[in-house]
Structure 1
């Protein structure tokens, strides 16, 4: 049901956003097809690909926190933070000791700004704590997928038409926009033929 022409710059200009249903799915018509786009899965995919692109190209991943956030870390959390300091920096976390068990967090991953920053840092540390060094890259990728999911717009959350248009256009510019990082579909499609069969306008 998906054709390359659906993703061309010319085709995107001809997409017609018909509206949102159930405060979750956006309906888009193009040519003789109707597409349904899950806004949460779509946003999750967009955030994930942004983070992965920055990581791959060694671009800045950090959004500065001002003022910095002060958190307390257990001994095992401190050991994990120091052990994976370079990997944490590469995905956008900037931290330093603040005295005793306290640490100052002055930067977090850029596209995740506005999340519960302390909870995010603790979760990443927890995910890395028992990882073997040979598997740390897989663990980091898994955490990026998890962070993308948690920071994405949710289902049952109303977006404006402009917000939806921007999100859909950004999604469709990706090399593979059809699945979120966890494998769920971002888009499903129906042909005009399928719809007309449902209404028994076509009997065959």
Structure 2
């Protein structure tokens, strides 16, 4: 049994559906299922990739990258909405990060300052072909939730690709790419505290069932399914 929505797993369809104001009834119903993770017992991790939890008479496996990517993506979306109502939420870096850029990228940065400011980035020239990054988009997690250089590079690459092809920048896709690059990866070792914080943040989401790519975040195995595999039930 997948802890996912009973709809298409096509990423474009999922991103399109998430722009709608209210989730359908079946999503609200399944949200109760996800909230049960708050009472689940943490068993540990498998391959430093999957979080194992016991909830009732079920074993739940959570893909840590997919879960964290989903969390960051929705938090970035929410902060962007806040920014549309005023100044975009951003967190100031204690130490500005120097990022090297090409001559063409530098020219693009000068022309599209508003694009980066709306995302929560603030920067200034830092001699030659480099910039000093001073702020990054804010998320609900710790200040280390987004890697400044990776997040900025992801936004810049998306802008450059869009301008080269003459199309508009897909803001949702930009946030998706930022979340993907910033999320914990398979084989990253998480502490029990980090896992529990991730689970709490996951249960607060509108759609905790798919990562932005459309892959399921979690898989539930019931006691019946497990015992059938071991030949205890016929």
Distance 1:66 1:163, change over 3 A: closer
| 2:191 is aligned with 1:160 | yes
Structure 2: runs of 5 or more not aligned: 4-29
Q: Aligned runs of 1:54-93 on 2, under 5 Å? A: 54-58=79-83, 60-93=88-121
Question: Shift of the alpha carbon at 1:16?
Answer: 1.6
Which residue matches 1:194?
225
Task: Report the Cα distance in structure 1 between the residues aligned to 2:122 and 2:78, rounded to whole angstroms.
Answer: 19
Cα shift readout 1:26-74 (whole Å, capped 9, x = no counterpart): 1122233221001111111111111111001216432212443344544
Aligned mates of 2:102, 2:109 — CA distance in 1 = 10
d(CA) in 1 for partners of 2:31, 2:161:
43
Per the normalisation by structure 2, the TM-score is 0.73
How has the CA–CA distance of structure 1 residues 172 and 78 changed in structure 2, closer, same or farther, with 3 Å as cutoff? same
Aligned to 1:50: 75
Determine which of 185, 192, 207 is the counterpart of 1:176. 207
Counterparts of 2:190 and 2:151, CA distance in 1: 25
- Tell me the CA shift for residue 107 of structure 1: 1.3
Aligned residue number for residue 147 of structure 1: 178
- Shift >4 Å, 4+ stretches: 98-102, 111-116
Pick the structure with greater CA Rg: 1
Question: Between Structure 1 and Structure 2, how many residues are aligned?
Answer: 199
Q: Note if 1:135 corresponds to 2:168.
A: yes
Q: Where in structure 1 are there 5+ consecutive unaligned residues?
A: none
Give the TM-score taking structure 1 as reference length. 0.83
What is the rounded CA distance, in whole Å, between the counterparts of 1:38 and 1:146 in structure 2? 18
| 3-state SS of 2:216 partner | coil
Confirm or deny: 8 A CA contact 2:60 2:218 kept in the other structure.
yes
| Residues 17 and 71 of structure 1, relative CA distance in 2, 3 Å threshold | closer
